[in-house]
Structures are given as structure tokens and as C-alpha cells.
Amino acid sequence: MSSLSSSGAQGDAKTADYAWSRSGGLIERPGQGPGESEAWVYCDKFSYNSDEKVSLRTYTTAEEYDIDVIKDGAKPRKVYTKQHLPGRQHPTPKDAYAVGCGWPESLSVQLDDPWESGFYLVIIRIKNVRGRVHEREGFFVVRPDKDHATGADFVLVHATSTMLAYNDWGGANHYRGIEDGYQNDIPSPHASSQRPVARGMLRIPRNAPRESTSDAVVGPGWTPRYHSLEYSWYFRFSRHYADAGWATYERPFVVWAEDQGYKIHHITQTDLHSDPSILNGYSCDVSVGHDEYWSWEMRDNIDTFTGRGGRFARFGGNFCWQVRFEDNTDVQVCYKDPRADPAFGTNPTRTTTGWDFPPVNRPGAQTVGLTGFGGVYTRYGVASPRSSGGFQVYRPNHWALEGSELFYGDIFGGHPVNICGFEVDGVDYTFRKGLPYPSGADGTLMDLEIIAMCPAVAGERDRWGGMEPIGGPLKELHILLNSVYREGVPAYLEDREYGSGMVASLKRGAGEVFCAGTAEWVVGLIKHDFFTETITRNVLNRFSGRAEA
């Protein structure tokens, strides 16, 4: 979510609580449930070369455990297994969410040539105190070989920084969790990669609800529903399982793309941050789902890639926050309030706040075409709950819509598909002769082509006098903007409540950017919506060179 936190309410009876903030969902950390069986695993890095050793760190209350490694995707397959390993418990810092667990290596897995680039689940399995199977999961990505671009249609950048931001294993994340005596809604500006990933971000049942409102909401007497929070409460998943991670976002895209015959290479955002050459040789780079958090270096490397002729296909939404890394990229930093960040006075452009805000002043739309501060919520709780759930077409002759048979004014991906949901991106815009154009007030590049749009709001309004919890209060954005813009909020953001999600394209240098502008684009692929699939194929074929082959 693009909000700060809602700790300011402090129990005011007339102010809505942030939906199920205090204890909704499962908080995982050693000893959280006395007498309960515990087992977790994480790797010392998010990604490895195919000749490295994967170092596994495990913790369990059981006497022994098994490990499976599965290459996940359209056809999951087990590639490694180890059984009857001795269980161990280890001292774990109370603030492991910020500083890491510090568990020692339990075993290592040597990678070699057969380990192709991909996403690998690591399953730890025990028998719990009732004799039932109990599993948790970790992951790692195998990067492409040195001649990495050979044979791939595109390289997928996993949104690991957004996953870090929402991962509440250990009790806190960039949104909430530090004890405050009320809702525990004080966020941690530090998020460590050296800990397990919260339950549900890597594996989730197929029928688990998504963040967007899937109901066909009609008639009066309605109150907001947050289906993923209800699900997490009852089935003991992290309350943030649907906000980020492989299970909700990248996996559905990979399953669809592999079924379509695309050859995919995999890297993480940490790779993109650390290695300026990581995209060398590729014609197409792809990101998917909820990629809200980026570093300065990540943007530099994407901008260099598109500037020299690369093509960036972004089937995602909510591009908002700058992050930094510390401790050799083991810790991600994001304060959001710029004046709380020590970098504000020493290295202002690296202050971890919104890209569009001072002192950073590097509008997000200049890299991906759109920005989360131009749209944000739709079909989420009270945010545009009765909207169509789809995009309305304004430029039917755009190359991305070729073969779709979509006309001006048509809606695609609408209810019950709902590709416009949860969080979306847009820009400040105007209409001329029935067509939308960027105004440029927010730093958007003026040759942006807005293909389709959906309504969005900057936050939810409480219409129930505090009686019902809401998920993304509008007041949070206003508090943030007033704290950031001390000398006055810019006209295009002042009193901003309404915006749009957009599908758009942009020529950038010698390259090109396509931005689907919604975190839920993958739902159209999951549900095999003809229009969403057609547009996705058009983009991938054009950007990868398949269209010319």
C-alpha cells in the first residue's frame, strides 16, 4: 500500500481503525505460540549463480526435519531432498525483522549446470505435536549464466524489495508491528532479508482471496469487506500475504508465460540494484504485480537499459517509494517521512520517501511511465467499490491492442475478472477531444500515450463514524503530503482525492516502456481473460523480438 501508517488514531472512537491492525493474521516468531510446533527456513541470499552454494538457515522445535527444493512454475518439479536432519533452535533477536535472525548454517546445497535460472521453493517439513505434517517455506532464485541472455525471451525481475517491505515475519515491517499500546501500527524503517518470509507470500491455496474487492457490490446497506484479511485471520496466514510475493504475483505470471512457450530468466531487485550489467544482452525486461519499492540504483539501471534500446514491460502497479540498503544489502531502509531519515540532512536525494517528493524530486513516471501518486486504490474496501473492475479503452488503435477487437469506450478485464484492483498507477492528466493526455505537472514525460483508464482514489473515506475498520484512510495521504511539502503542497496534489489507473506506453531514449498500471493485471491471466492475454502477448512479442521473428 502507498500509505504511511495509521498510528495517529490512538483509539479515537470517531476514527475508523485500520482494518484488523492489532492481531489480524499470523505473526511468526519463535515462542509466539507456546506449546506449538515451529519450523522455518531462509537462505543467506535471495539469489545465486549456478555454480554457488545455497546456504540454508533452519529453526525447528522438532527433533528432526526434512528439506525439499522445488523449481516452481507451470510444471513444478522436485530437484533436491534431504531427510531426517537434526532439528535445532537458536537464539533470535526480538527485532529480527530489522536486524536478521542470525541463525547459523544448517546445510548447504551445491548448485551446478542442471540448476537452470528460475525460482526455487525450499520446503521445511516436520511432524507437529499432534503428529500432523507441518510445513513452512523459503526461497532462492538462480540467476542466468554468464552468457545469460542466450535463449531467453525476457528476464523477469522479482519484486523482492516490495516483499521485504511487507514481510512481517518477526513481528514488524515497513507498515506496522512495533508495539505502541494500541494497534501496534508503528512501522519499522528497517527490513532484514536474513529471516524467513511470512506465511502465504511464497505458497498459498489457489482459492485464497486477493487484496482487491471481488464482490459484485450492489444496493444500499453495504459495509466494506477485506477478504484477504478475513482469510488470514481464520487460516493463520500473514495479514500481508496478498500484498506482495511470489505466490500472489510473479508465480501466476510465470505459470501463464511458460504455458505460452516463453523462455524466462530470473533475477531479483537486489541483483538489479547491485549489478549494472545484469540486463546486458537482453532486449526485454519484465516486472509483475506489486513493485512498489525501488532503489536509486535500480532505477538507474532500468533507465540505462531503456535508454540504449531495451524494452521494459511492467505488468504491475503502485510505483511509489525509494529505498536504500545497508549491511551489504542485507537490510532495506525506508522511512517514508523524509525528515525521520538520517539521509535527509546528509544525502538528500537518497532520502527514503516518495519518488515525487522533495528532496528526492525524481518523478517515478520518468522511469516506468506512471506513478502510484497518480492513482492508488480501486475496488479495495471503500475505494471505488462499485467500479467496473476493468480498464476503459481510449486509444483502440494502439499497437498493444492489435487483434483484441477492442473499441473506443470498451471495458476489458471488468468484473468478475477485476484486473483494476487494489493499487494502480496513473499521472496527472487532461482531456482533449475525447482523449487523455498527461499534463506534465507531475514530471511525466509528455510523449506518454494513455491507452486505457480506470477510476481510482487516493484513500478511503470513513462513512461509518469509526464503527467499521477501513484499509487505506485518505487522511494518511494528506498527513504525509503536508509533512513532506512544508512550503505548500503542489497544485496537482493539493486536496488530491481522485485519480486514475492507466495502461500506457512511452518511448524512452532508444527504448520503450509499457506499463499496465495495476497490481492485479495477473488476474486477467489467471482467469484467461481474452483481452488481457492478447495485450500481454502483444507486448511480450514486440519487446522480446518474437513479433519480428
pLDDT tens per residue across span 367-405: 999 999 999 999 999 999 999 999 999 999 999 999 999
What are the residues whose beta carbons fall under 8 Å from the beta carbon of 85, sequence distance 6 or more?
A: 58, 64, 65, 66, 67, 106, 107
pLDDT score, position 9: 41
Alpha carbon distance 145, 115 (integer Å) = 10
Q: What is the pTM of this model?
A: 0.95
Residue 345 pLDDT exceeds 60:
yes
User: What's the mean pLDDT in 236-263?
Assistant: 97
3-state secondary structure of 544: helix
Query: Residue 159 has which C-alpha cell?
Result: 519484486
Kindly state the average pLDDT of the residues 306-334: 97
Mean pLDDT of 496-517: 96
| Among 106-115, 164-173, 325-334, the least confident range | 106-115
Q: 251-259 vs 530-544: helix axis angle to the nearest 10?
A: 80
Least confident of 43-57, 279-293, 535-549: 535-549
Query: Cell 510445513 identifies what position?
Result: 135
Give the model's pLDDT for residue 219: 82
| Residue 7 pLDDT exceeds 50 | no
**Is the confidence at residue 549, as pLDDT, over 70?**
no
Per-residue confidence (pLDDT) for residue 65, from 0 to 100:
98
User: Average pLDDT, stretch 249-254?
Assistant: 98
Question: At residue 221, does pLDDT exceed 90?
Answer: no
Q: Tell me, what's the pLDDT at 459?
A: 94
User: How much is the pLDDT for 33?
Assistant: 86
Buried b or exposed e, range 495-532, using 16+ CB within 10 angstroms: ebeebbbbbbbbebeebbbbbbbbbbbbbbbbeebebb
Q: pLDDT of 130-179, one tens digit each?
A: 899 999 999 999 999 876 677 899 999 999 999 999 999 999 999 999 98
pLDDT at 390: 98
Looking at every residue in the chain, the average pLDDT score rounds to 93
- pLDDT tens for 271-296 read 999 999 999 999 999 999 999 999 99
The number of C-alpha atoms within 13 Å of 207 and in the hemisphere containing its C-beta is 1
Please tell me the predicted confidence (pLDDT) of residue 11: 46
Spatial separation of the C-alpha atoms in residues 446 and 429, rounded to whole Å: 10
Average pLDDT over residues 426-449: 97
The per-residue pLDDT for 8 is 41
Q: How far apart are the first and last CA of the chain?
A: 40
Give the pairing type, strands 64-71 and 77-86. Answer: antiparallel
13 contact partners, CB below 8 Å, separation of at least 6: 466
Grid coordinates of 271: 541483483
- What is the three-class DSSP state of 272? helix
Q: Which residue has the higher pLDDT, 319 or 216?
A: 319
pLDDT at 79: 97
At residue 150, the pLDDT reads 78
Q: Which residues pair with 314 in a beta bridge?
A: 287, 515
Q: For residues 458-475, give the mean pLDDT.
A: 90
Burial class (CB in 10 A: 0-12, 13-18, 19+), 94: exposed
Peptide bond into 189 cis (omega under 30): no
Sign of CA dihedral 111, 113, 117, 118: negative
